[in-house]
Amino acid sequence: MNDIFWSYWNHNRKRGIIACTENELIYVGSSNETYNAFHEWAVRSKYKNIIQKDSKLKLYKEQLSEYFDGERTKFTTNLGIYGTSFEVEVWKTLLTITYGTTLSYKSVSEILGKPKAYRAVASAIAKNPLLIFIPCHRVVTQSGASTGYRGGVDFKLDLLELERSNSFEGAIND
C-alpha cells in the first residue's frame, strides 16, 4: 500500500473527502471531517503517497451523486475493506442491509453469531472508513434511535430520510 488518490465529493451543500488506490475505493468522509483527519487516517493505514487527483475518483463520485439524486440504491465499485478481522466481518455484514431499511446494533451482532458483542459491533461501525458505500448509517439502536455516526447524526438522519423517501423507479440496483 503506497499511493492513494483523493479528492472532494460535492453534492448540494454536502461535501467530503473521497480516496482510492489504483483500483479500489478506500475512504469516504463527510462534511464535518477535515483534510487533517483524513491525512491522519491515511498515515495510520500505512499509505506513503497521498496525491490529490480528481480524475482517479470520477467513477466513485458519479455513483455517489447518483445515490444522492435517488438514482442508485447499490454501489458497483471495488471496495478496499481493511481493518481487523472483526471489523471487516462487521463491515461486510453491513453491506447486506437492504437500501431503505435499518438494523439494530444487537441484530448485527446476532447475525455475526455474537449476540453479546453489540458494543464491539458499535465500535467497529464507528471506524468504518467507507461512509455510505458501507452503509453504517443503516444501523440504529434497538429502539430505532439514530445515535453516533462518524459523519454526524444529522448527516445520518439525512441519509436515512433520503433512502426512506426515495422512489425506486429507475434506480440502479446492480
Q: What percent of the chain has pLDDT over 70?
A: 95
Identify the pLDDT of residue 160: 93
Helix, strand, coil: what percent of the chain each, to 5? 40, 20, 45
pLDDT at 170: 44
| Planar angle of CA 96, 102, 103, nearest 5 degrees | 75
Contacting residues for 149 by C-beta, under 8 A, at least 6 apart: 136, 137, 155, 156
Which residue from 129, 123, 134 is spatially nearest to 159, judged by alpha carbons?
134
Split at pLDDT 50, 70, 90, the class of 174 is: very low
- Please state the pTM of the whole predicted model: 0.90
pLDDT for 149 equals 82
Confidence tier at 168 by pLDDT (50, 70, 90): low
Mean pLDDT on 109-113: 96
107: pLDDT strictly greater than 50: yes
Query: Could you list the active site residues?
Result: 136
pLDDT, tens digit, 9 for 90 and up, residues 143-157: 777 777 888 899 999
Give the helix ranges, DSSP H, for 10-73. Answer: 35-44, 58-68
Q: Average model confidence (pLDDT) for the chain? A: 91
Can you give the pLDDT at residue 171? 47
Q: For residue 28, give the H/E element and its range.
A: strand 25-28
Q: How far apart are the first and last CA of the chain?
A: 29
Q: How do strand 3-11 and strand 14-20 relate by DSSP bridges?
A: antiparallel
pLDDT reading at 70 higher than 80: yes
Q: 17, 56, 63: which is closest to 173 by C-alpha? A: 63
Provide the pairing of β-strand 14-20 with 25-28. antiparallel
